[in-house]
Structure 1
Amino acid sequence: MGRVRVRQHVNPLSDKYRQPITLPHWEGIYGNSAQQLHLDIGCARGKFLLKMASLYPKTNFLGIEIREPLVTEANEYRDRLGLTNLHFFFCNINLFLSPLLASLHPDVLQWVTIQFPDPWFKHRHLKRRIVQTELVNTLAQYLADGGTVFLQSDIEIVAQEMKERFLEHPNFKKQHSENWLVKNPFYIATEREIASLNKGKSIYRLLLKTSTKLVSLY
C-alpha cells in the first residue's frame, strides 16, 4: 500500500468532525488494557508511536488523529508489526477527549505528548488550536498522579501559548529550570521534528508533571 495523501490541515470546527463517535472496547484492542498508557494527541502518521510501542511492550500507546485516512494507514502498519500495545483512533480531540479518557481503566493514563500541532496563525482561527483550556482541564482530571505531559513545536508563539495554558492550571508544574527543554526526553523524533532540525529550526519543548515527585520516562 502506498503512502496516503491527505490535506495537511482540516477545520476541527466543521460539522464533519463533530459527529458522535463510538468509543473503543479496550479489552478487545490491547493485549493488556490495564497497562499504563501513553497518549499522543495529533499523532499524524503515527511513526513516533510505532517506534515507541516496539521499544516498550509493557506500556500501551494510543494515537489520536483527526485525519481518518492517516489513522487507517497507521493501524495497518501496526497490524503488520503485530503490536498489541498500540492503537490509533480517529476523533476530534477537543470534543471527545473527556468521554474517551473516561472509558479507560482508572489511573492508566501516565504520559501525554502533543507534538507540533497545527499552528492556525490567523487570529480568527485560534480556537481551532488543539491546546485549549478545556483540554488542559480534562487532562488534569484523568492523568494519574505523577503523570507527565510533553509539548513541543518549532513555532515559538504556539509553544508559548501551550505552555501558558498548562501552567495556568495548578496541577501542572515544569520539570526543568530552563525556559525550554533542550532535548527530547523520549529520544525518538517525529517526522516533523526531524524535518525542522534538518532545516536548522529551533524546537521549543516543555516537560510538565502533575505532582511534586519526579517521574521516570519508562
Structure 2
Amino acid sequence: MPRIKIRQHVNPLSIVYQQPLVPPDWSVVYPDLSTPIHLDIGSAGGRFLLQMAARHPNWNYLGIEIRQALVIQANQIRDEARLTNLHYVFGNINISLAPLLASLPTGKLQRISIQYPDPCFKTKHAKRRVVQPALVADIARYLPSGGEVFLQSDLEWVAQEMCDRFSENPAFTRTQSDWLEPNPLGVPTEREVSTIGRGLPVHRAVWIRR
C-alpha cells in the first residue's frame, strides 16, 4: 500500500481535537479478550505494533493516534496482514485516555508504551507534551499492579521529563536508575531504527505499577 503524506505534528489543544473518542465494543474488535493488552500511545503509522502483534499472538495490541489518516492506514495494513489481535483508534490522548482505559476489560491492560513523543521544543508549548501529571494519574488509576510503562526517546531531556512525571506519582517505581540497553521489547520503531543507524543513543526506561 502506498504511504499517505501525513502532517508530522498537530496541536492537541486545538478545538479540532477536543472531541473525546467513543470506545468500540472490544468483544467485536478482539476475538479473544482473555489475553493481556498492550496500549501504544501515539502509535503513528503503527509499524511497531504490527510487528509486536505478529510476534506475540497471545497478546492484544491497541494503538491510539491523533492523526486520523494514519489510523485509517494502519488498520488497512492490519487487515492485509490478517492480524486479529491488533487495532488502532483515532483520538486525542489528552482528553480520551481515561474513557479509553475505563472501557478496556478489567485487569487486562498490562503494558503501556510511549515512544518518541513530539518534544514541543518551545517552553510555551510545554502543556502540549504528552506526558502530563493528569495522564500519569489516569494510567495509575487503570493499570493493574505489576503492569508496566515503557518510555523512550532519542532526546534525553524528553525521556528525563517523562520519567520525572512518573517519579512524581507514588504509584510507580522505576526498574533501574540508568537508561535501559537494549530495547527490552525487542521490536524497534522506525524512529528507533533511524536513530541507531545514525549512531545516536536512545534513552529508555520502564516503570512498574506498584
The answer to whether residue 190 in structure 2 is matched with residue 191 in structure 1 is yes
In the aligned structure 1, how far is the partner of 2:180 from the partner of 2:89? 29
Shift of 1:93: 0.6
1:129-160 superposed Cα distances (whole Å, 9 cap, x missing partner): 10000000000111111001110001111111
1:11 maps to 11
> Can you give the 5+ residue segments of structure 1 that lack an aligned partner in the other structure?
212-218
User: The residue matched to 2:151 in structure 1 has which SS?
Assistant: strand
1:31-80 superposed Cα distances (whole Å, 9 cap, x missing partner): 11232100000011111100100111111000010000000000001101
In the aligned structure 1, how far is the partner of 2:201 from the partner of 2:11? 27
1:200 maps to 199
Higher mean alpha-carbon deviation, 79-88 vs 18-27, is at 18-27
In the aligned structure 2, how far is the partner of 1:69 from the partner of 1:33? 27
Aligned residue identity for 1:150? F
2:163 maps to 163
> Can you give the 5+ residue segments of structure 2 that lack an aligned partner in the other structure?
none
Higher mean alpha-carbon deviation, 45-54 vs 21-30, is at 21-30
1:123 maps to 123
The number of aligned residues is 210
1:215 maps to none
Aligned residue identity for 2:73? E
In the aligned structure 2, how far is the partner of 1:22 from the partner of 1:96? 8
In the aligned structure 1, how far is the partner of 2:145 from the partner of 2:129? 26
Tell whether the 8 Å contact from 2:53 to 2:59 is kept in structure 1 after alignment. yes
In the aligned structure 1, how far is the partner of 2:187 from the partner of 2:4? 23
The sequence identity of aligned pairs, in percent, is 51
2:109 maps to 109
Aligned residue identity for 2:198? K
Tell whether the 8 Å contact from 2:20 to 2:91 is kept in structure 1 after alignment. no
Aligned residue identity for 2:125? H
The answer to whether residue 169 in structure 2 is matched with residue 181 in structure 1 is no
In the aligned structure 2, how far is the partner of 1:52 from the partner of 1:20? 27
User: The residue matched to 2:191 in structure 1 has which SS?
Assistant: helix
TM-score, length-scaled by structure 2: 0.97
1:74 maps to 74
In the aligned structure 2, how far is the partner of 1:21 from the partner of 1:89? 8
1:147 maps to 147
In the aligned structure 2, how far is the partner of 1:122 from the partner of 1:8? 17
User: The residue matched to 1:94 in structure 2 has which SS?
Assistant: helix
Tell whether the 8 Å contact from 2:20 to 2:92 is kept in structure 1 after alignment. no
1:216 maps to none
Tell whether the 8 Å contact from 2:12 to 2:92 is kept in structure 1 after alignment. yes
Aligned-CA RMSD value = 0.9
